[in-house]
Amino acid sequence: MSKHAFYTQAQTCLAALDPHWAAHIEAVGPCLHQPKPTRDPYQALIRAIAYQQLHAKAGDAILGRLLALYPGSVFPSPEQVLASTPEQLRACGFSASKLATIQGIARARIEGLVPDYQDALALDDEALIERLVSLRGVGRWTVEMLLIYTLERMDILPADDFGVREGYRRLQGLERQPTRRQMIELGKHWSPYRTVAAWYLWRVPATRV
């Protein structure tokens, strides 16, 4: 099935859930989710850590300074990261904790714990999550972003994600956000389109309840 056909099928199924979903999907229009499969898991993890708990503009600045350390490279190799001094990396804007995390990711890539793209494709979702959350500073959400944007998995619901939970709260006019456990239960009804559902929930306008 083509990506366009899958998205169309997902929109139809999600819109049939209730009038709130139907109206929201009608207002947003077709799903325009765009994964980045050209990035391998190592690069995706480093990028995710750079943006972790920051606004996009701040993350862009840190990542830009990191890339500037390695002219001629599209993205620094694990060996280049480990050869850089802590002072160089801290000057990019990384906290001490994030510095330790990206060095750990680089080391884990060299040792094979962080798989390359082809090996990652062969692992199922939970196996890859279990493998990568063993790394310091890498949580489930970070691996879920890798699954969604790098490995193009279409049935991932990041139940801890603030935007997903707040989007659902506003969509349904609830007083409180669903808990992680509640989101997981809700998401069972959205399978196998949970990635598309998350994409739409991230786009519920802040002007809604």
Annotated catalytic residues are: 161
Cβ-contact 93, 62 below 8 angstroms: yes
Q: How many CB atoms lie within 10 A of CB 104?
A: 18
Q: Which of 17, 43, 70 is nearest to 194 (CA)?
A: 17
User: Which alpha helices (H) appear in 115-161, and where do they start and end?
Assistant: 117-121, 125-132, 140-149
What type of residue is 182?
Q
* Alpha carbon distance 65, 80 (integer Å): 14
* Alpha carbon distance 98, 95 (integer Å): 5
Q: Which of 109, 66, 71, 73 is nearest to 91 (CA)?
A: 66
Sequence-separated (6 or more) residues with CB below 8 Å from residue 173: 20, 208, 209
Cβ-contact 183, 176 below 8 angstroms: no
